[in-house]
Structure 1
Amino acid sequence: MITTSSTDVEFHCGRTRRAPLTWGQEVIWDLMREQDDARTYAVLTRWMPIPLLLSVGDVLASIGELLRRHEALRTMYHPTAKGDATQEVLGSGALTVEMVDRPADDPTDYTSIITDYLVRASEAGFDHEKELPIRISVILQDGIPILLAFAVSHLSADFVSADLLVADLTAMLQARADGRPPPPARPATQPADLAALEGSPAGQLRNIEAIRFIRGQLDRAHPDMLPARAAPATPRFFRGQLESDAIAVAGGPAARRYRTSPSVLLLSITSALMRCIAPGPVYPIDLMQSNRPTPELAGTVCSLSQSILTVIDVSAGSFADLVRHCSAVVAQARVHGPHRKRAAQDIVDAAGAARGCQFNDIWSQLPGRPRPAATLSELQEMTASSTFYWPEKVADKNKDLFMGIRGTADRVHLTLFADTALLPPGDIRAFLDTFERTAVTLAFADVALDQIAHWFAEGCARYAEFNSGSG
């Protein structure tokens, strides 16, 4: 029979620190206040194997070291009378770690144990005033550690940070298994220090420049950039997801053909498809930025990612021209990405701008890329393993269209969440299919923008039956 117990991991790291929220943390705090399910909003989960022959003590010691290295994991968040919050970094304390022990003869498989934990962790939320923003579960077999899973609040970590925690913990556990001392901590700016930098004169100047950039984008925007194209379905917003090995293989080679980054390449394909549904010559899109331009920020565990409003011109004559334009837009977005969202939102709201679109590419930040297929036909054959499904259908969403690119190095998860008045369900499926077809072809040859539009129109006709909302 599976037994569950708990044990405490203590940490002693020096003085307690207090600071305002960083700009990135403030974005998440405001979203949580606006959501009805604030306690369950924005919980990131991960799991990982534990090297064989490690003791429970080895694992707990590595967890303690993780807490010492990253102040975000030992931070409490306290609301203020004005609706803001402050962060309190604890100098000492303890984290309760769940221990789940499965006997070797128990029929429950580890997949079920991990899945159950991830579901529970995602739904539980955090009481940020009373508990640390991370929960950890160690899964054992007859007392031997086998797997580790954790949930961390989005206030303390973004998606890149969650992956940093996995990498850090993996390296420390492997070092113990090899009989080596743990690797040194990566240079990293701690959240409280970042908050001080953002509040400094240099930080405030950067915020002013970002607001000026956003005003310039709004001057190019107009309320009819994304007009309705169909009667909306019920519920109104559909999320389609295409999972593709082929895009994972094609992304790197296609980007190299155009001498750009995989992320710019993926944004360019998105923009080529937006030409099919936006009357032009521009469309608005919030670009999500990781905001990690320096080695110190690259290793920071904190919620750094923020979106910034941009306007993309889709009047280019060729895909190569569109790539060059998207590259310039992304470069500007990176410069102005870190900013105080509250000030920018007031300007956007005052301008009466449409809800617009958002592009969030997490996949391109993953380490490692598979080698390209030898021929175009081999890459096209890989699309047979692609899968499509509808993960979510809701009555309302804060954007007209959201393009998210996640997954693993070997398999891209391409998500399109859209207002069905803008993209009926069949068109959502056609958009994603055409995205994959375009990416695969671009790995070996150029594609005319009109050809992409033709493929999209073919897909819309093919999947027209989805427009009833039952696809």
Structure 2
Amino acid sequence: MDRSVAVRLMERFGSTSAENRRVFYDKMRSEGVALSQLPIVPRPAGAGGGETPSAAQLRQWFLWRLAPSSTAYHISGALRLEGVLDVSALWASFAALVERHESLRTVFRADAEGRVEQHIFAAMPIEAPLIDLGEVAEAEREGRMRERAQAICDLPFDLTQGPLLRVAVIRTGEKEHVLVVVMHHIVSDGWSMQIIVEEFVAQYRARLRGEAAALEPLPIQYADYAAWQRNWLEAGEKERQLSYWRGQLGAEHPVLQLPTDHPRKAEGGYRAGRYAVEAPARLIAALQRRAQAEEATLFMALLAGLQALLHRYAGESDIRVGVPIANRHRAETEGVVGFFVNTQVLRNVVEPRRSFSHLLRRTREAALGAQAHQDLPFEQLVEALQPDRNLGTNPLFQVMFNHQRQDRRALQDLPGLRLTELSLGDQGAQFELAVDSVEDSDGR
């Protein structure tokens, strides 16, 4: 289909009635036209206030209203900057990021009827404190810096007022600074943090040269994606994908009961503890060979191993693990800051007498099926399946597994500066157990 024709079709699709959108959807399906073949188009000119959030954002609003002081959905990172820092160029770079990405100047408010709306401002200043610890005794400086950085990360966000991006610079020496960046999940995700780091580097480099950064214009903004997703789901895509998930997960939704040495809290509020281990290269190489023999990926092999482990510790066979996906399979969304990530529930029935190869094949089948049905928001899946709900238990799964490939090239040194990542302290826990595996570009 010619792109100009496809764009006009999608513009008409977005502006017509819900009934006409369903007719359009059915016609496209009958002609074999897939969702991925049609573009996401920008909202009409002048849009930007009083718009409906995405399904994922509505869930974040609900969780925030339940626990407005929780840090469980704060996305934070810190960089140690060694060398000569141009603070004015740094703040100008972040101001340019806010101007470029609508999500970073968006707030959320409920109207008189309780309907939640997102409001996008034409401009929004960000908080930009410079905290100078130069007068603190050198022996105490590192500890004080970490305390201040953690306090910045733990400060609650007000989703109704914003800004929902917080940036601070902590000066620990004449040529030593720490950059702290915190966002609320309702406007961002892990992929977005990578975008912000890469664009910050580009903006900062350009400003040192007295130039504007040569970044390609964004084809859409997050609110354009949210409207597109809502229209397609309402037109019929929700029913199609929900049918798959009903068949995959069934009508019973058991709660995984891992053994603990303390009673669980009724309200389910916990501080997360983090433990790290580096897997030996020989083990990873062997896992990759085993996965390839089953036409699977390293992610699938690690997930199958986790499912077997959960089965052994919980003594249950029906194992369901939550897996986040970037949900950026559309070219238009790759460079946009926003809350795109979706959560899928990957189920496996572990049979102790079966081999690991059998378990891995089942995991592979579930992962491929989920990938083909990844557009249904987790929030709508929960609403449709209606599992038993309580504050102390996450619906549909209690353990999260996240496998990422990490490219450290984004942390390239800037003129006069050397950048290194800085690990901050723990934050609120989202799930009973979260297992994160990070695959480095060098194979570790």
Give the C-alpha shift of residue 336 in structure 1: 2.5
Whole-angstrom CA distance in 1 between matches of 2:116 and 2:159? 10
Contact 1:74–1:133 (CA under 8 A) maintained in structure 2: yes
- In structure 1, what residue type is equivalent to 2:166? R
Question: More relative contact order in 1 or in 2 (CA 8 Å, sep 6+)?
Answer: 2
**1:346 alignment counterpart:** 383
Do structure 1's residue 234 and structure 2's residue 274 form an aligned pair?
no
User: How far apart, CA to CA, are the structure 2 residues paired with 1:254 and 1:326?
Assistant: 15
Distance 1:251 1:368 in 2: 20
Structure 1 residue 71 and structure 2 residue 71: aligned?
no
Check conservation: 1:286, 1:308, Cα contact below 8 A. yes
In structure 2, the CA distance between the partners of 1:164 and 1:113, relative to structure 1 (3 Å rule), is: farther
- Taking the aligned partners of 1:229 and 1:192, their CA distance within structure 2 comes to 39
Structure 1 residues 124, 222: closer, same or farther in 2, change over 3 A?
closer
Q: Measure the CA separation in 2 of the matches of 1:173 and 1:196.
A: 33
Give distance in 2, aligned partners of 1:180 and 1:115.
Answer: 34
Residue equivalent to 1:367: 407
Does residue 275 in structure 1 map to residue 311 in structure 2? yes
2:237 counterpart (197, 206, 229): 206
Alpha-carbon distance in structure 1 between the residues aligned to 2:225 and 2:152 = 28
Contact 2:406 2:441 in 1 (8 A): no
Q: 2:145, 2:386 → 1: CA distance?
A: 43
Match in the other structure for 2:53: 21
Name the structure 2 match of 1:287. 323
- The correspondence for 2:355, drawn from 313, 318, 341, is 318
- Whether the 8 Å CA contact 1:214–1:310 is kept in 2: the answer is no
Match of 2:138, SS state, is: coil
| Residues in 1 aligned to 2:57 and 2:126: alpha-carbon distance in whole angstroms | 22
Listed one character per residue, the Cα deviations across residues 224-253 of structure 1 (whole Å, up to 9, x for unaligned) are: x75x68686335689764311226884466
Q: Whole-Å Cα distance in 2 between the matches of residues 74 and 174 of structure 1?
A: 24
- Deviation, structure 1 residue 356: 5.2
Q: Find the partner of 1:55 among 80, 86, 91.
A: 86
Q: Superposition pairs for residues 139-178 of structure 1, below 5 Å?
A: 139-140=170-171, 146-176=177-207
Equivalents in 1 of 2:284, 2:381: separation in Å? 33
Q: Secondary structure at the match of 2:170?
A: strand
Shift of 1:335: 2.9
SS at match of 1:94: coil
- Mapped to 1, the partners of 2:306 and 2:63 lie a distance apart of 26
8 Å CA contact 2:56, 2:339 repeated in 1: yes
Instruction: Give secondary structure in 2 for the equivalent of 1:331.
Output: helix
1:119 positional shift: 1.8
1:95 and 1:254, CA in 2 relative to 1: closer, same or farther beyond 3 A? same
The one-letter amino acid paired with 2:101 is H
Structure 2 distance, partners of 1:173, 1:43, is: 25
Q: Which residue identity does 1:148 align to in structure 2?
A: L
CA distance in 2, matches of 1:177, 1:361: 41
- Between the aligned partners of 1:352 and 1:100, the Cα distance in structure 2 is 44
Question: Comparing both structures, which one devotes a greater share of its residues to strand?
Answer: 1
Q: Which amino acid aligns with 2:263?
A: T
Match of residue 92, structure 1, among 114, 123, 127: 123
Unaligned runs of 5+ in 1: 1-13, 370-390, 412-442, 444-471
Q: What is the identity, as a one-letter code, of the residue corresponding to 1:162?
A: M
Count the aligned residue pairs.
372
* Backbone CA RMSD of aligned residues: 4.0
After TM superposition, give the deviation of residue 78 of structure 1 in Å: 1.2
AA of the residue aligned to 1:330: A
- What does residue 374 of structure 2 align with? 337
1:104-146 Cα offsets, whole Å, 9 max, x none, are 8852666335422332123321122222111111234678783
